[in-house]
Chains A and B, each alone.
Chain A
């Protein structure tokens, strides 16, 4: 699973949570919660979806480390390859 695969997964799941947005329009370097307006329930659902798709479990304490798409992809990539 390379970074592009992971990015595709993350964007797909955000798209499922917020069907009205175009994932291609999200700036990967800027906080996506603010861009997409996700609440805590949405974030939890996103974490569950990422876990299901990649096997990576992201603890709550690490949420600040994944606040942009780029950081989220890097975080998941490092855990996937380590696994």
Chain B
């Protein structure tokens, strides 16, 4: 069970997307896992052949538990260095445990750590599931969990009989026989042509499903945020810097740029901020990477985590990868996609686990400045307030300009205020030449 964010302690396998014997390559999505915060598509970090699935669908296990065994293919590239943990020092050609990365040292005061992975004997996979494998999208799965719909009683109407979100909602609206009894009260009375229940028999699979109500999800998300932020405040000696950045070049440039574009290709100024942060990181690399086992491990890649708030409350900070090398248009496409999927509750494991620095922007409705809390094991968080118009003195003249307050929360173990100051100054400088971003 991979650690999908510093605040994760347990995860539930919702669905396996592979079966023993399947050939997989690094980056394939092999399973869907439900954490306390979201439904995550887990990407495998290893090329090879699935030998056995060890944890069954519906099982909830601690981070670090071996989920499956993979026979390493000869062409397997070395596993990507995991940000959250050192590579297991294993002799190469032999079965590799999926996601058996040790978790970063747990906070001392936290709940007892998960049982050591190695002690868990490989157990035979639960009764083979493949024949009756359900075809269902992660989003539909998520809706099914929220509505507590028994998937074995849902007939899919999508491509190849896949269960769609609409199928789930229809099933949830159907009274008792298709809905868990406890949920009947919540079911909507009017029924749109119930699907013939006889068809259900084709899908004999009845894996116990995790049932998480929206209220529970809410509560568990608060606990997850509490755990990560408490750890951050306990372990990371933060220092804070702030500066005010003149946006009188960036914003008019952006507005002129957007006038040339159709509405669905417009850019938000957030992408300028993201790109500026990513380029500034290349000048001050101490801000980009992880504090692991008493040492700073800089990251070559710049994966910028973006704090995205959920409408129902709560927060997730998934990453856009390689922001420094992407065009503003690409970043905008990535950002829109990410926000959409965060709000739908479906993310990928790499997005959740590997941000190397985080940006938080409180948007236009909010306040002028933010003093961030670093997301461990990262070492820096850049905060942007809202854009405001202020009197601004330049070249001996006073004028009114749009400005944005930019703050840095950084880990004093990894860097000092002098370097942090250079980093913010670099962001400022980059935002004065938006056309070069």
**Which A residues contact B (CB, under 8 angstroms)?**
18-20, 33-34, 37, 39-41, 44, 47-48, 51, 57-61
**Inter-chain contacts of B258 with A (CB < 8 A):** 59-60
B265 → chain A, closest Cβ, in Å? Answer: 10
Q: Does any Cβ of A come within 8 Å of B249's Cβ?
A: no
* B339 interface hit (Cβ, 8 Å): yes
Residues of B within 8 A of A34 (CB): 365
A60, B266: Cβ atoms under 8 Å? yes
A59, B311: Cβ atoms closer than 8 Å: no
Interface hub of A34, A40, A47, A57 (most chain B Cβ within 10 A): A40
Q: Whose C-beta in chain B lies nearest to the C-beta of A45? A: B336
B89 close to chain A: CB less than 8 A? no
Residues in chain B near residue A18, CB distance under 8 A: 311
A40 contact from B262, B309, B363, Cβ within 8 A: B363
CB contacts between A and B, total, < 8 Å? 42
Contact status B312-A59, CB under 8 Å: no
* Chain B residues positioned under 8 Å from A48 (CB to CB): 263-264
A19–B262 CA distance with the chains assembled, in angstroms: 26
Question: For residue A51, which residues in chain B have a CB less than 8 angstroms away from its CB?
Answer: 263-264
What residues of A have a CB within 8 angstroms of the CB of B339 in the complex? Answer: 41
Complex Cα distance, B262 from A60, in Å, reads: 12
Q: Chain A contacts of B295 at CB under 8 A?
A: none
Q: Please tell me if B270 contacts chain A, counting CB pairs below 8 Å.
A: yes
Chain A residues in 8 Å Cβ range of B335: 41
Whether a CB of chain A sits under 8 angstroms from the CB of B200 is no
Contact call B262/A57, Cβ cutoff below 8 A: yes
Query: Restricting to B298-336, which residues have a CB under 8 Å from any CB of A?
Result: 309, 311-312, 335-336
Give chain A nearest CB distance to B147 CB in angstroms.
14
Give the distance in Å from the alpha carbon of A60 to the alpha carbon of B252 in the complex: 11
Instruction: List, in ascending order, chain A residues with CB within 8 A of B312's CB.
Output: 20
| Apart from the given pairs A41-B268, A41-B335, 18 other A-B contacts in the complex at a CB distance below 8 Å | A20-B311, A34-B365, A37-B365, A39-B309, A39-B363, A40-B268, A40-B270, A41-B339, A44-B266, A48-B263, A48-B264, A51-B263, A57-B262, A57-B263, A58-B263, A60-B255, A60-B259, A61-B259
Q: Which residues of B contact A (CB under 8 A)?
A: 255, 258-259, 262-264, 266, 268-270, 309, 311-312, 335-336, 339, 363-365
Residue of A nearest to B267 (CB): A44
- The residue of chain A having its C-beta at the shortest distance from the C-beta of B259 within the complex is A59
CB proximity of A10 to chain B, nearest CB, Å: 15
* Pairwise interchain contact A39-B364, C-beta atoms closer than 8 A: yes
Q: Which B residues touch A20, using CB under 8 A?
A: 311-312
Complex Cα distance, B364 from A20, in Å, reads 21
Q: Which of A37, A47, A58, A60 has the most CB of B within 10 A?
A: A60
A61 CA to B259 CA in the complex, in Å? Answer: 9
Decide if A61 touches B268 in the complex (CB within 8 Å): no
Q: How far is the CB of A35 from chain B (nearest CB, A)?
A: 11
Q: Which of B258, B311, B339 has the most CB of A within 10 A?
A: B311
Which residues of chain B have C-beta atoms less than 8 A from A33's C-beta?
365
Give 8 closest A-B pairs by Cβ, nearest first. Answer: A51-B263, A39-B363, A48-B264, A41-B339, A40-B268, A57-B263, A48-B263, A47-B263
Give the shortest distance, in Å, between A18 (CB) and chain B (any CB): 6
Residues of chain A contacted by B336 (CB below 8 angstroms): 41
Among residues of B, the one whose C-beta sits closest to the C-beta of A19 is B311
Name the contact of A61 in the complex, choosing from B255, B264, B364 (C-beta under 8 A). Answer: B255
Complex Cα gap A57–B265 (Å): 12
Neighbour of A39 across the interface among B255, B269, B365, CB < 8 A:
B365
Q: How long is the Cα–Cα vector from A59 to B254 in the complex, in angstroms?
A: 12
Residue on A nearest B265 in the bound complex, by CB:
A48
